Structure 1
Amino acid sequence: MQKKKFLELPKQLWTEYSLELTTHQYHGKLLDQHQGFELGKAQRKITPRSELSQLSERPKGIDALTVYHWSNQGRVDLLKPVRAKRMSISPFAYFRGMPSLMLYDLAWEKSHSGLMQQICGDCHLLNFGGFASPERNLLFGINDFDETLVAPFEWDLKRLATSFIIAAREIELGDRVGLKAIEVMINAYRQHLQHFRTLSPLQTWYEKIDAAVLLQHTEDQKIRKKREKHLASAHRRTSASVLPKLTDYDAETGHRCFIDEPPLLRHPEEGEVFAKNSKEFFRRYRDSLKSDRQVLFDRYRCTDVALKVVGVGSVGTRAAIALFEDADREPLILQMKEANPSILTPLFPEKIKHEGERVISGQQLMQAANDIFLGFASYSKEHQQFYVRQLRDMKISVDLEDMDDVYLYEYADSCGLALAHAHAKAGNADVVLGYLGEGKQSVKVLQEYAFKYAERNAADYAQFLQEIENGKIEVAGDEVL
């Protein structure tokens, strides 16, 4: 596999004033609550919060199309038009499909807090949702970690805030509602960081955001009914539920096999990933699991593998699903997603050994609970790196078109809570809260930034559409939507 070429980047992301929040130490000593808060407060003098509202200037000769073409490196040529089509639908679809662009812009900003910790990296509002705990409870939180990395904590806040502006425009609620949603989200984030400050590290680790509890706290009856509907549908979203749609029964073998529906679902051809050597791949994957999950995994055998197109930004990267059955033909469907380097990989202080491990390590650190089959492995001689999880497994997200302003505010509050827990678990709530403060300035700064970046996104999207119109970017038909 050809090595990915990287775009021009700043010399470094970390500075002498940067603080590593994951260790909870400063000069070799653990920080208590007061010390952490004061350290965060002192960081304001190094990077005033007002400076966080400023957008970066892109390097000369670099525009959004440059980053788009960079992000297409190594993707399957046949699927690039599918990705372009899905991104062309709206400014929000474009925003979702280009997390690398915003990460690139963030890296070039003149100021950041210097408070470094594990972040989601693609923290937009549709990357929050429901997912299953090992106990089969439906939890709420961040559910996509393809871009996770160690970076300034506020980068997650900036992307989430921007997504509310762009989403509010898309569903014709307007900027006023988008700005209000940002205020609700930031206030919830700060409020719940304050709550996590009162807990011990162990208590914070054990905290869960139960979707059923969120439902109980929903006062608006209209929204409550919508959330009840989502809650009910989540419990039906399992591997077994999609089996009739994705597979046919083969009377000769006694096994089910995936139904070819190219280009979105098809069996791999000679020379493609998973055309052969799947057994060796799953042996390596098994080694990444905890010992008790290895015992469970050994009760299944792989009966079929197919390539499957997923998402918006992931289209064109290599993704597949594998059907496993136990001795009584009970199914388990795993999803394998190629994990590519971040656009910021050259800035990392330590080299990442495996991109799939990077993804699942970030997920394990930031999520309240993880899929029991979450693991990683490389494929054969090509060394493509994948992470593995169960397909669906109660994973759901909201329907943006179903939202009004009240629902958007409720959802913004939930996202603020979930992000606060993820950051408190992965970082240091005392330091972050000390930096943000209790006033309105942080809200104002993030609203200003989000509005500016939404305007930039609109301009980048227009340029993208023009490139399509000029025939320089090929798009697939509506059947891929």
Structure 2
Amino acid sequence: MTFTAEQLGAGPAQGRRDPIAILVDQEKNRLTDLIPVRHQRMATTPFTFYRGAAALMAADLGSVPDSGIRTQLCGDAHLSNFGLFLSPERQMVFDLNDFDEAHPGPFEWDVKRLAASMVVAAQANGADDRAARRAARWAARAYRRTMVKSADKSVLDCWYARVDADEVLAEIGDRLDTAATAKARKVLKKSRHRNSEQALTKLCELRDGTLRIKYDPPLLIPAEEAFEGTPEEQIRTMFLDRFEVYRKGLAPHLGALLDQYTFVEAARKVVGVGSVGTRCWVLLFVGKKNQDPLFLQLKEAQQSVLAPYVEPVAFANEGHRVVIGQQLLQASSDILLGWLSTPVFQSDERGVASSTAGDSDFYIRQLRDGKGSVVVEDMPDDRLAMYGELCGKVLAQAHARSGARGEIAAYVDGLGRSFDRAIADWSLRYSAINEADHDAWVTAIADGTLSGATLGS
């Protein structure tokens, strides 16, 4: 392998394309009424901007030489895309939890995305460059050590390796003070209760004695409001038809599970930062006697931001790409994951729904299944660095599930600590670039270049 530590740590190529132009290009196929929400969320801090600007980093990574070692990538492995959720066995695990940008590519791209997020987050919390760089270095070191260990494991051991949340807390308990340990236990407890029943209390209300999804524009809009003027039965048929396509793609036993639920209604819901403006629907189902709710999320899958810079993948459906990427990287994936193509729902001038805007790809998953995450903004330097170690370990386990683990392990082991330092140096430089891009973004909003967006709205 001739890809040196100096090349690994080299910054993006000179003469970058205008970052505003790259991000605006992403919005061409998004819902125009939600674009101001995206602008606002990305403008909040350099870290929220980083979260929404995966396309910028992809362009920067694609502009310089890479290791040539390919594996399945998350594509957006920043530290807020790791979190807690319940496995099918109902065990609380910690793992990657966002795969919209999943795509095969150079292994170090995921590592750099994670490590740079450590620096950006640490600096946003008031850390100096030394402490921020340490957080990135620890994440890279944990990745390296875990990957090297994986090379000596069996294929099945790597495939089933996962991080149990309770075991993690037990392992690091002696590194945390009493208050931090109590907060960690509180996060675990809260996550276990983040399910469809909890979503019901947040997203629904009783109207005229009937369970319905709340109207909270622009973040949550029931389909009957989104398509005002369209008969409710027509809206119901639209969603049930698409649901049936998804259901037929599942294993028969899962179809039998879903047959025990009755569809109530759908609503458009805004999620995340970078995803804002993509078409995302939540579908509410209930079990017997109007109890036992189930929320499914129908989320649009667009082309991965990595796609222009790497070899193509053999999936005609972007939703299929997302699902397969998740199943390859996660040790325990949602049993109800699925995908489909469907005509885009839009309203005419009377508000009547039609599907003449062409097809879009979607994937479906449970909206909440014990999902939880830490509040990065609350973390002092030492705890953020520890969290980065955990994320680096999990990322290595995800990459080790592929056949490339031996090649990755040999490369990072060969570089040793130089790998950690190179990733940390690159991350510190990239944080400065991200901050400049964020400043340009805020300026573009303030001077009206990004039309319709207002800070503080």
Alignment TM-score, normalising by the size of structure 2: 0.90
Letter in 2 for 1:369: S
Instruction: Tell me how far 1:124 sits from its aligned partner.
Output: 0.5
Q: Whole-Å Cα distance in 1 between the matches of residues 272 and 440 of structure 2?
A: 22
Instruction: Tell me how far 1:58 sits from its aligned partner.
Output: 6.1
Q: In the alignment, is the contact (CA less than 8 A) between 2:285 and 2:295 conserved in 1?
A: yes
Q: Whole-Å Cα distance in 2 between the matches of residues 173 and 66 of structure 1?
A: 31
Instruction: Please give the secondary structure, in 1, of the residue aligned with 2:137.
Output: helix
Equivalent residue for 2:185?
228
Q: Whole-Å Cα distance in 2 between the matches of residues 144 and 448 of structure 1?
A: 26
Task: Find 2:445's aligned residue among 468, 473, 477.
Answer: 468
Letter in 1 for 2:258: F
Larger deviation: 426-435 or 65-74? 426-435
Equivalent residue for 1:52?
8
Question: Does residue 416 in structure 1 map to residue 379 in structure 2?
Answer: no
Letter in 2 for 1:74: N
Task: Find 2:198's aligned residue among 241, 247, 252.
Answer: 241
Question: Does residue 309 in structure 1 map to residue 286 in structure 2?
Answer: no
Task: Find 2:280's aligned residue among 319, 324, 345.
Answer: 319
Q: Whole-Å Cα distance in 1 between the matches of residues 424 and 455 of structure 2?
A: 37
Percent identity of equivalent pairs: 36
- Structure 1: which 5+ runs fail to align? 1-42
Task: Find 1:293's aligned residue among 254, 257, 273.
Answer: 254
Equivalent residue for 1:130?
84
Q: How does 1:294-373 map to 2 (within 5 A)?
A: 294-329=255-290, 330-346=292-308, 347-373=310-336
Q: In the alignment, is the contact (CA less than 8 A) between 1:265 and 1:309 conserved in 2?
A: yes
Larger deviation: 337-346 or 365-374? 337-346
CA deviation map 1:428-470 (0-9, x unaligned): 3221111112522111111111111111111111111111111
CA deviation map 1:274-301 (0-9, x unaligned): 6751111101111232222111111112
Q: 1:400 to 1:144 in 2, by over 3 A?
A: same
Q: Whole-Å Cα distance in 2 between the matches of residues 307 and 64 of structure 1?
A: 29
Instruction: Tell me how far 1:426 sits from its aligned partner.
Output: 2.8
Question: What number of residue pairs does the alignment pair up?
Answer: 431
CA deviation map 1:141-164 (0-9, x unaligned): 110011010000000011111101
Instruction: Tell me how far 1:270 sits from its aligned partner.
Output: 3.2
Instruction: Please give the secondary structure, in 2, of the residue aligned with 1:85.
Output: helix
Letter in 2 for 1:409: A
Letter in 2 for 1:367: Q
Instruction: Please give the secondary structure, in 2, of the residue aligned with 1:217.
Output: helix
Instruction: Tell me how far 1:343 sits from its aligned partner.
Output: 3.4
Task: Find 2:153's aligned residue among 199, 212, 215.
Answer: 199
Letter in 2 for 1:475: A
| CA-based RMSD | 1.9
Equivalent residue for 2:347?
none
Letter in 2 for 1:229: K
Q: In the alignment, is the contact (CA less than 8 A) between 2:74 and 2:110 conserved in 1?
A: yes
Equivalent residue for 1:33?
none
Equivalent residue for 1:407?
383
Q: How does 1:1-400 map to 2 (within 5 A)?
A: 43=1, 45=2, 47-57=3-13, 62-109=17-64, 111-218=65-172, 219=174, 220-221=176-177, 222-251=179-208, 255-268=210-223, 269-270=226-227, 277-329=238-290, 330-346=292-308, 347-380=310-343, 382-400=358-376
Q: 1:58 to 1:243 in 2, by over 3 A?
A: farther
Instruction: Tell me how far 1:131 sits from its aligned partner.
Output: 1.2
Instruction: Please give the secondary structure, in 2, of the residue aligned with 1:257.
Output: strand
Equivalent residue for 2:422?
445
Equivalent residue for 2:351?
none
Equivalent residue for 1:4?
none
CA deviation map 1:348-399 (0-9, x unaligned): 3345310111101000000010111111112235311111111121111110
Q: In the alignment, is the contact (CA less than 8 A) between 2:70 and 2:404 conserved in 1?
A: no
Q: Whole-Å Cα distance in 2 between the matches of residues 279 and 88 of structure 1?
A: 37
Alignment TM-score, normalising by the size of structure 1: 0.86
Letter in 2 for 1:181: A
Q: In the alignment, is the contact (CA less than 8 A) between 2:265 and 2:285 conserved in 1?
A: yes
Equivalent residue for 2:434?
457
Instruction: Please give the secondary structure, in 1, of the residue aligned with 2:370.
Output: coil
Q: In the alignment, is the contact (CA less than 8 A) between 2:69 and 2:404 conserved in 1?
A: no
Letter in 1 for 2:297: Q
Instruction: Tell me how far 1:406 sits from its aligned partner.
Output: 1.9
Q: Whole-Å Cα distance in 2 between the matches of residues 183 and 56 of structure 1?
A: 19
Instruction: Please give the secondary structure, in 2, of the residue aligned with 1:151.
Output: strand
Instruction: Please give the secondary structure, in 1, of the residue aligned with 2:295.
Output: strand
Q: 1:350 to 1:365 in 2, by over 3 A?
A: closer
Letter in 1 for 2:37: V
Equivalent residue for 1:37?
none
Letter in 2 for 1:215: L
Q: Whole-Å Cα distance in 2 between the matches of residues 388 and 225 of structure 1?
A: 35
Q: 1:77 to 1:451 in 2, by over 3 A?
A: same
Q: 1:135 to 1:461 in 2, by over 3 A?
A: same
Equivalent residue for 2:350?
none
Q: 1:67 to 1:462 in 2, by over 3 A?
A: same
Q: Whole-Å Cα distance in 1 between the matches of residues 431 and 41 of structure 2?
A: 19
- Structure 2: which 5+ runs fail to align? 344-354
Q: Whole-Å Cα distance in 2 between the matches of residues 452 and 344 of structure 1?
A: 21
Q: Whole-Å Cα distance in 2 between the matches of residues 331 and 168 of structure 1?
A: 39
Q: 1:451 to 1:419 in 2, by over 3 A?
A: same
Q: 1:348 to 1:287 in 2, by over 3 A?
A: farther
Q: Whole-Å Cα distance in 2 between the matches of residues 58 and 309 of structure 1?
A: 36
